[in-house]
Amino acid sequence: NQELGKDLLPINGGKAQLGRALTNLILNASEAMDGMGVLTVKTENVYLDEPLKGYQTVKRGEYVKLSISDTGSGIDPSILDRIFDPFFSTKKMDRMRGSGLGLSIVHGVVEDHNGYLTVESALGKGTTFSLFFPITRSVHARSNQVDQTVTGRGERILVVDDDPIQRRVAGQLLRRLGYKVQLASSGEEAVERVKRHPQDLVVLDMVMEGIDGAETYRRILEHRAGQKAIILSGYAVSNRVEEALRLGAGAFVSKPISPNVLASAIRKELDRQTPTNGNRQTHARA
């Protein structure tokens, strides 16, 4: 089976290395099923905000995730932590997934690409290997894909994100679209900027060090009643996102961010007439 995501973001990678890793995982999955079962290859854009299993920390940001799943015999939990060791082999491991060398190669390829590798397995049910590769940014190429009907007209936008890469890229994209952009690295800084300089729209990341996006928006409203805003987050709609929407934020855009989705959400919110009663809530999915 193939479940290939649309509009996958670009990564920097060696074709031969990546192909070798994929081949090894597919061979291991095939051996685990002994010719009987379902093998699934899945790709998707994801946003990592929290550590993965087996890692104390991960670099926050956008990744392309490649998953290889099988419905085979699974891996014994007692050896799961050792399967990526070079030449690790047991008779049981050999029967289930071939030699450990192939998995060691996969682990090395992922490390060479500054990525992450996780494995989930259940005896008698199957195994899933997930590879996470950091994306490479090409702001000019991606911004050229944006629908020109949703470009800016010189409006002032404040982008608030504690991730310097996310902040810079969003700022560059919005400037190319015709907006006047300011950047803030924290909720506290955003509140002070809005107090000094009125903004037509605030683009708020939800998960930040210090005060989060919802609390930032609440404090902004104390100084700029009716301030328009949209919320960004790598998670599904949470209680904090709902709180920001209840306060009056016009849209929620999920990470990884599609330039078209972000541009459309911003244009729609800027053009929206402020309601006299109640708050309008919109979810803009990437």
Q: Which of 239, 165, 184, 231 is nearest to 204 (CA)?
A: 231
Distance, CA of 17 to chain centre: 24
Query: What is the per-residue pLDDT across 10-38, written as a single tens digit (0 to 9) for each?
Result: 888 878 888 889 998 998 888 888 878 99
The pLDDT of residue 99 is 44
Beta-carbon count within 10 A of 77 CB:
10
Give 251's DSSP letter: E
Reading the block at residue 227, the tokens are: 């301030």
Cβ-Cβ contacts under 8 Å for 36 (sequence gap 6 or more): none
Query: What is the per-residue pLDDT across 37-55, written as a single tens digit (0 to 9) for each?
Result: 999 999 999 988 777 887 8
| Domains within the chain, CATH numbers bracketed | 2-134 (3.30.565.10), 139-284 (3.40.50.2300)
Confidence of residue 88 (pLDDT cuts 50, 70, 90): low
Residues of the chain with pLDDT > 70: what percent?
84
Query: What is the per-residue pLDDT across 210-221, written as a single tens digit (0 to 9) for each?
Result: 899 999 999 999
**In this predicted model, which residue has the larger pLDDT, 4 or 15?**
4
Query: What is the per-residue pLDDT across 144-180, written as a single tens digit (0 to 9) for each?
Result: 456 666 789 999 999 999 888 888 888 988 999 999 9
Identity of residue 59 = K
Residue with tokens 């902040």: 167
Distances in whole angstroms, Cα of residue 255 to Cα of each of 126, 144, 171, 284: 29, 19, 16, 10
Distances in whole angstroms, Cα of residue 204 to Cα of each of 53, 128, 200, 249, 272: 28, 34, 13, 10, 18
